């Protein structure tokens, strides 16, 4: 691990000022991802800016509408167990509880989870020279390497890594809005615009600017979000990243689908909003045949590789199962 200086921020303005003036500075919150990357030599910051004392831990109702605001420093365990989340957005609670371990959830933060970096083997280990995400222009070792956990949607020839977060998948299905603060003031970023597909710049994970700090995540009021389910398919029952995951939210009236919100994890460089599946479900009867047709529509453009083509069928079945579980709720 390289030498670095340490600064404890007293307010958001100080934090954004430091990271804005030092391109190699990094924000330190829970540190559950950053410290691992520093130990591996993937991240080499010259300065850490500790924001843990900032007043960004709130989980509270938004005025005039019934939505909920989650502070950027709210711990994953606190969010997962909070009555407002459990009652109004159960899919988010389920997603958080499916991630990591209780010890890590006690430290990991909402903002940090949004910025969680891929678990691609070729990115995580500098011993592999080919990784466009870690070293732009070096190539993608996963393309012709061991790519079992890699993307089947939205990938490019530059990168086939996936976003590892469970929380991000649920937030995508819930149309969350990320609140950030920077030198130029505050702005709101819809969750669909926050993360990026790889394209020719896989080293850029998000549209967060270098001098910006995540202060909160807003969840809109969605009355039918109580009928939702998070399904995570993984190699073992706990402490494993998703091969495929599905966050499904259904609006049902007399067995007919008025609306659906579906997001997939483990399949793309960002949480994948399944818009084709959502469109296929609109106005249809909530049954397995309908769900399978929607899944087929969404995965029609999927592309597998030597070791992960099984994910295409797995994703289809996961969509059907998640929707069926949500539809069966009272």
* Sequence-distant (≥ 6) Cβ neighbours of residue 63 within 8 angstroms: none
Question: How far lies 310's CA from each of 52, 259, 268, 317, in Å?
Answer: 42, 29, 15, 11
Give the number of other CB atoms < 10 A from CB of residue 196: 16
Give yes or no for residue 105 having a pLDDT over 90. yes
Mean pLDDT of the 233-237 span? 96
pLDDT at 330: 79
C-beta of residue 158 within 8 angstroms of C-beta of residue 198: yes
Q: pLDDT tens digit string along 131-171?
A: 999 999 999 999 999 999 999 999 999 999 999 999 999 99
Domains observed in the chain: 5-53 (3.30.43.10), 226-327 (3.30.390.50)
Give yes or no for residue 271 having a pLDDT over 90. yes
pLDDT at 194: 98
- What's the pLDDT band for 312 if we cut at 50, 70, 90? very high
pLDDT at 65: 80
Encode 213-237: b = buried (16+ Cβ within 10 Å), e = exposed. bbbbbbbeebebbebbbbbbbbeee
How far is CA 161 from its chain centroid? 13
pLDDT at 1: 81
How many angstroms separate the CA atoms of 113 and 102, rounded? 15
Sign for the CA dihedral angle at 308, 310, 312, 318 comes to negative
Backbone angles phi, psi at 292, to 5 degrees: -65, -40
Which alpha helices (H) appear in 150-300, and where do they start and end? 167-173, 191-194, 275-281, 288-299
Integer Rg of the chain from CA: 19
How many angstroms separate the CA atoms of 76 and 240, rounded? 16
pTM of the model: 0.98
- What's the pLDDT band for 64 if we cut at 50, 70, 90? confident
């Amino acid at each position: 691990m390289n030498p670095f200086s340490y600064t404890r921020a007293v307010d958001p303005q100080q934090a954004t000022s430091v990271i804005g003036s030092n391109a190699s500075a990094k924000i330190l919150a829970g540190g559950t991802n950053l410290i691992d990357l520093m130990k591996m030599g993937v991240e080499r910051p010259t300065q850490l800016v500790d924001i843990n004392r900032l007043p960004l831990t709130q989980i509270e109702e938004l005025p005039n509408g019934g939505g909920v605001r989650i502070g950027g420093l709210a711990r994953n365990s606190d969010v997962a167990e909070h009555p407002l989340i459990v009652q109004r957005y159960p899919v988010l609670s389920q997603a958080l509880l499916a991630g990591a371990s209780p010890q890590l959830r006690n430290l990991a933060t909402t903002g940090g989870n949004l910025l969680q970096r891929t678990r691609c083997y070729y990115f995580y280990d500098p011993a592999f020279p080919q990784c466009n995400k870690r070293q732009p222009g070096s190539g993608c070792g996963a393309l012709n390497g061991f790519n079992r956990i890699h993307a089947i949607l939205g990938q490019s020839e530059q990168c086939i890594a996936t976003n590892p977060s469970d929380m991000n998948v649920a937030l995508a299905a819930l149309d969350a809005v990320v609140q950030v603060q920077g030198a130029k003031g505050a702005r709101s970023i819809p969750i669909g615009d926050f993360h990026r597909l790889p394209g020719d710049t896989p080293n850029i994970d998000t549209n967060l600017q270098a001098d910006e700090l995540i202060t909160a995540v807003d969840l809109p009021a969605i009355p039918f979000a109580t009928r939702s389910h998070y399904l995570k398919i993984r190699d073992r029952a706990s402490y494993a990243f998703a091969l495929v995951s599905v966050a499904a939210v259904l609006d049902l009236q007399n067995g007919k689908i008025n609306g659906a919100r579906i997001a997939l994890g483990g399949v793309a460089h960002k949480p994948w909003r399944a818009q084709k599946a959502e469109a296929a479900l609109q106005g249809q009867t909530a049954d397995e045949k309908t769900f399978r047709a929607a899944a087929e529509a969404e995965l029609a453009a999927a592309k597998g590789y030597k070791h992960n083509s099984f994910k295409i069928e797995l994703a289809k079945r996961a969509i059907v199962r998640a929707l069926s579980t949500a539809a069966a709720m009272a």
